[in-house]
Structure 1
Amino acid sequence: MSSSTAWLIILAIGIGTFALRLSFIQLLGRASPPAYLQRALRFVPAAVMAALVLPALVNVNGAIDLSLGNERLLAGALAAFVAWRTRQVLLTLAVGMAALWLLQAYG
């Protein structure tokens, strides 16, 4: 593939992404979405966060590891528990990172 073709593809993808996001901003700015859509959109941030975090917790060296020897999974489970009980982001991050460091140092 030539460099000009690659740049054209990158440009087209950028324009497409911008147009897609702009269309939602324009549509939601003119009319209020239905109640069922508003309820569904509340779960998007949590779903995106889970989709980003879960593979990092269970994928160890290219394989799924759900054992108690997986330090990342244990630290993530502890952080999820702290988040559920306290609903404090900084405390959740601190406990999760401290647990991961301790488990990696002594595990």
Structure 2
Amino acid sequence: MDKNFVISVLGMFLVTYVPRFLPVFGLSRVEMPSFIKSFLEYIPVSVLSALLFPTIFLKGNHLFISYKNIFLIASIPTLLVAYKSRKLFSPVIVGIISYILISLVIN
């Protein structure tokens, strides 16, 4: 195995793991106020929304709300299943199946 490859993999490991580990390690011993805890609970939802909304609603930097928008139509049953089940795996499967079925019908 090449020495540069091993050094690169170890470097990538450090760059990705250390920034995730240090806050967990450091903050696990500190009791945070309740308002900070409640604020931090919204971060995953807001990040996911920021990643998904442009994909669902935009096409070529323009708002694309149409029955031909496969992502928008597939997101409807996905959101319903996510709301109803409150699980992670079910909405992913429904989203994939919805996208495939809708793309077969529309195209």
TM-score (normalizing by structure 2): 0.69
Where does 1:1-107 land on structure 2 (aligned, <5 Å)? 22=22, 24=23, 28-107=27-106
Alpha carbon RMSD of aligned pairs, Å? 2.3
Partner of 1:3: none
Question: 1:103: how far off?
Answer: 1.1
For residues 71 and 65 of structure 1, the distance between their equivalents in structure 2, rounded to whole angstroms, comes to 10
What per-residue deviation string (whole Å, max 9, x for no partner) do you get for residues 50-76 of structure 1?
111111111123321122221101111
For residues 83 and 59 of structure 2, the distance between their equivalents in structure 1, rounded to whole angstroms, comes to 25
Gaps of 5+ in 2: 1-14
Partner of 1:7: none
The residue matched to 1:100 in structure 2 has which SS?
helix
What per-residue deviation string (whole Å, max 9, x for no partner) do you get for residues 22-73 of structure 1?
5x55762453111111111111111111111111111123321122221101
Percent sequence identity over aligned pairs: 23
4+ residue stretches of structure 1 with deviation over 3 A?
24-27
For residues 32 and 45 of structure 1, the distance between their equivalents in structure 2, rounded to whole angstroms, comes to 21
The residue matched to 1:92 in structure 2 has which SS?
helix
